[in-house]
Every structure is written in structure tokens, then in C-alpha cells.
Amino acid sequence: MADANITAPVADDRRFIRNLATGMAVILVSGFVVQLVMGRSSFNAPLIVHAHAVVFMGWVGIVLTQVWLAGAGNIALHKQVGKVAAIWALGLLVFGTWVTVATVQTGRTPFFFQPQHFIVANPLSLYAAIGLLVAAYLMRKQTDWHARLQIGSFVLLMGPGFGRLLPMPLLPPYAFEIAVLVAIIFPAIGILYDWRVHGRPHPAWFWGIGVLVAVTVLARVIGFSPIGEGIYDAVVADTPLAGTSGLDFPPPPGPPPV
């Protein structure tokens, strides 16, 4: 490994990363399952929402496949799946941005988010996740950095999962920030692991936390600025929402159709 201060066997770190990512995936999926079971969501959604779900849940599957392959020491297949992941990540960019725009344009922004903030914050979180993913790929030969930056990227995608488990209607006007920042618990677990096993935290954890915090702050600054207003106006132009304020909270929805 690249860091001379990391003395534990490589396999130990791989198993820890595998277990951490698996726990993250379980929480992420649980958020959607809980909402479905409680009748707060249904499969009656536009086609773009279903396509987005397939792409992002597919990404969760890829992440799990990768960490379990690495944990088992099957690095050759891990590298081959990594090629698929590189292509799939483009789908995250396309469908993640597309579904956010479509959500705002059709007035489907969750009622605890302000559309003008949502249209900025959601894509920024996604782009930051892809940025950390690219950094992890560039540092793939430094396996200590590679694995931890991958977790940092996954953390930035945890907001929708936590948002479906937290009491979001009680959290405005900082509902988005709370749903995103609560995921810091995962790099915090990584820091504690490194401290116990290696004697000090790995700096990659702090890069992940730093990006998460920076993006969250930047999204609020831009979202509530004239730039954010201009982005919102451009997105809803030529829709029934043209001319409306993007800082008004949408009304709560009725029960989903059976």
C-alpha cells in the first residue's frame, strides 16, 4: 500500500471496506422499501423516474459487486467490472440530472425542499460523487486511497436513502442539508477503524468529508442567490410553473394512488 504507516494486511482493509459499503447499501435500499411499505410512494411514476431508479440501483449493485470481489481477493474480475462501472457512471450523470430537472418542471419537488435550492443541490451532490469516483480511479494503484475515495463517492449518494428514513417534514428549511450530512457517520466509522488498526486516520476520509461539506454549503449559497434563481427560471421556462417563485415550498401531496 502507498502509505508506509499502514501496516495491517491489505485483506483486513478490504474486508472492512466491504462491510462498510454493504451496510451503506442496506440503509440506502431500506429507505425506499420503507416508504413503499408505508404507502407513501408507489410505482405510479413517470418513465424517467423508473429509468433513474434502474440506473442508480444498478450502481448500488456495482458497488457491492466491487467491494465483495476485492474483499475476496478477486482483483482481476474487480478490474473488469470496473470497466463497466466507468460506463455506468455516465448514466448516473445523465439520468441523475434529467430526473432532477423533470421533477422540478412537473412540480414534483418534495414538499420539504425549495425547488430553487433542489435544482442546484441535487446535481451538485451527484457531480461531486462522480468527481471522487474519478479521483479514486486515478489512484487505483494506491489501494488505500482508492478504496476510501470510493466510499466517499458512495456517501454523497446516500441522501435519498436517509431522506426516506428521517422525519423530513419536520426538518425544513435545512432538510436537504440534514439528509446529506448525516451520512458523515460512514467516513467517521472509517476514521475510527483506521485509528484503531493503523494508529491514525487516513487522509482520504477527510477529503471525502470535506467535499461533502463543501458541496452542501456551496449548494445553499448558489441556490439562494440570483444564480440559483436564474437556473430555476430557465428550468421551468415554458412550463406551467414559469414565473413562480422557486423559494416557495410545494404543497404536501395527497396519498399515492393504489
Chunked in runs of 10, what are the mean pLDDT values of the chain (258 residues)? 47 90 94 79 78 93 95 91 94 95 93 95 96 95 93 93 87 92 95 93 96 96 96 95 93 62
Query: What is the reported pLDDT for 41?
Result: 67
List CB contacts of 140: < 8 A, sequence separation 6 or more.
82, 146
Within-domain flag for 182: yes
Q: Quick check: is 4 in a domain?
A: no
What pLDDT, on the 0 to 100 scale, is given for residue 3? 45
Containing structural domain, residue 207? 10-236
pLDDT score at 4: 41
Instruction: Give the CA distances from residue 90 to residues 56, 120, 127, in Å, rounded to whole numbers and listed in that order.
Output: 11, 19, 11
Give the DSSP letter string of 28-58. Answer: HHHHHHHHHHTTS--S---HHHHHHHHHHHH
Evaluate whether residue 126 is within a structural domain. yes
Query: What confidence score (pLDDT) does residue 40 get?
Result: 67
- Asked whether residue 241 is domain-assigned, the answer is no
Rg of the chain over all Cα atoms, to the nearest angstrom:
19
Does 244 reside within a domain?
A: no
CA neighbor of 65 nearest in space, from 50, 51, 44, 79: 79
Number of domains making up the chain = 1
Spell out the residues 6+ positions from residue 207 whose beta carbon is closer than 8 angstroms to its own.
Answer: 132, 135, 149, 152
Assigned domain for 257 exists: no
Domain presence at residue 148: yes
Q: What are phi and psi of 192, to 5 degrees?
A: -65, -40
Whether residue 243 lies inside any domain: the answer is no
Task: Give the number of other Cβ atoms within 10 Å of residue 91's Cβ.
Answer: 16
